[in-house]
Amino acid sequence: MRALGMMAVAVAGVVGLAAAGRSSQAGGTVAGKVRFTGAKPLMAKIDMSDESVCKAKYTAPPTEETVVVNANGTLANVFVYVKAGLPADYAAPAPAEDVVLDQNGCRYHPHVLGIRVGQKLAIKNSDGLLHNIKAMGKQNRPFNVSQPTSMTTERVFTAPEVMVPLECNVHGWMHAYLGVLPHSFFAVTGTDGSFSLKGLPPGTYTIEAWHEKYGTQVATVTVTAGGAKTQDFTFTAR
């Protein structure tokens, strides 16, 4: 049994090395910003009065995170990723380290995140009170587990899917979105609205920017060996 397992590890290792060899070979970069135009929508305040532990973690009343517009007019929590264009035989092993989704202050951190197929998602409960974590994928099997206290639950996703919605039913305002991909070419915009996809093999790619309220936008970008391309996206208020 152990021999079989080691063989599997060895095979995976060889495949991984081959892929790593290719991607490190003068990969190109696509970077840019996700801008936001129009009136910034007002986010509803979250009433956490039933959960004093969570409420105490905020100085100002927390708001929903459906639309987070940065000070520089860019949009946060946009998932930007390579939707198509990688060679059909492209393969890379999932990293051994976990992706962590933390439940803290009755909110998910991060609100939008990416993970590789086969990589472990460690769902952490830092609040020490009851959360349930429900994943509602369509390509992946769903799950819904209870965490009544401080603990970590691990789950793995088996199929690419953008996005898998995650939610807590105890706290109806808690939502997160998880992009599951077979490659590492994805990023989530942060407080400056920028993203960068590095190490892309030369080729022409469909890059998609996904936002939970404003939907998706796509761009086609051709990357040369060692080259850097800028591709911005703009979402408009509606």
Partner 1 sequence: MRAVGLSDSRTVGLLGAVVVALLSVSQTVRLSSQDTTRGKTVYVKWCAGCHGEDGKGDGPAAAYMLPRPRDFTGAVYQIRTTANGQLPTDADLMRSIDDGLFGTAMPGWKGRLSDAERRDVLAYLKTFSAFFADTTQRPVALAFGREPGSDARVGRQFYDSIGCRKCHGDQGRGDGPSAPTLKDDAGFPIFAADLAQSWRFNGGGDVAAIYRRLRTGLDGTPMPSFSDLIDQKFLTADELWHLAQYVRSLSPTRPPELRDVIHAPAARGALPAAPDDSAWNRVEPSWFPLVGQVIHKSRWFTPAIAGVWVQALHDGRALALRITWDDRSQSPDSAWRPFTQRVLASVAGDDSTPPAAALWPDQLIVQFPTKVPEGMERPYFLMGAATQPVYQWRWTSALRTSGRAVAGLARGIERFDSLPAGSAPAAQAVYDHGQWRLVLTRALATPDTADDLQFRTGRAIPVAFFGQDGSNGEFGTRMAVSTWYFLALDQPTPPRVFVTPVVAIAVTLGLGLVLVRRAQQRGTRA
Summarize as ranges the residues that interact with partner 1 (CB under 8 A).
Answer: 1-2, 4-6, 8-9, 50, 129-130, 132-136, 138, 141-149, 151, 153, 158, 169-172
For residue 173, the one-letter residue type is: W
Give 72 or 149: the residue with its C-beta nearer to partner 1: 149
Give 28 or 62: the residue with its C-beta nearer to partner 1: 62
Q: For the chain, what percentages of helix, strand and coil (3-state, to nearest 5) are there?
A: 10, 45, 45
* Rounded least distance, CB 53 to partner 1, Å: 13
Give 174 or 197: the residue with its C-beta nearer to partner 1: 174
Q: How far is CA 105 from CA 54, 139, 158, in A?
A: 4, 30, 30
Give 137 or 193: the residue with its C-beta nearer to partner 1: 137
What's the rounded Cα separation, in Å, for the pair 207 and 85?
9
* Rounded least distance, CB 144 to partner 1, Å: 4
Beta-bridge mates of residue 104: 107
* Rounded least distance, CB 66 to partner 1, Å: 15
* Rounded least distance, CB 147 to partner 1, Å: 8
What's the rounded Cα separation, in Å, for the pair 147 and 6?
34
Q: How far is CA 213 from CA 12, 181, 188, in A?
A: 38, 21, 15
